[in-house]
Amino acid sequence: MDSNKILAALSYFSIFFAGIIVPIVVLCVSGDKEVKHHAKKALISHLLLLIPVPIIIFAAFADIIGIHQGEVPIMLFVGIIISIILSIVIFIWNIVKGIQVLSKETII
């Protein structure tokens, strides 16, 4: 199996063990244009998991300092639900893309 395919797929499969670190290392180490393309896509998909974090932090602090006293913390629940759904979708997407990279003749 081609080492470029393995590096590109490893960028996607790094969601299992070292999400952001592996695509950054592959971007810095690899000289192949296609591998860098896949590493960038994997890095962006791993960074998308950070989108709901500010919503959850703001909602948690709003509840702690008592801005919404006595109310159900809807923003916190919405942020957590968005985070869970986004995590599942991105996790599956990375697995599918990693398998596609390994199964193709040439990396696109």
Please check the confidence at residue 88 and state whether its pLDDT lies above 80: yes
Any alpha helices (H) in 30-73, and if so which ranges? 33-47, 53-65
| Band of pLDDT at residue 89, cut at 50, 70 and 90 | very high
What pLDDT digit, counting tens, does each position of 11-70 carry? 888 888 877 888 888 888 888 888 888 889 988 888 888 877 887 787 777 766 666 566
What is the pLDDT at residue 1?
55
Count Cβ atoms within 10 A of the Cβ of residue 42 and give its class: 0-12 exposed, 13-18 middle, 19 or more buried: buried
3-state SS class at 70: coil
Per the model's pLDDT, the better-predicted residue between 74 and 5 turns out to be 5
- Spell out the residues 6+ positions from residue 9 whose beta carbon is closer than 8 angstroms to its own: 38, 98, 99, 101, 102
CA pair distance 106, 108, nearest whole angstrom: 6
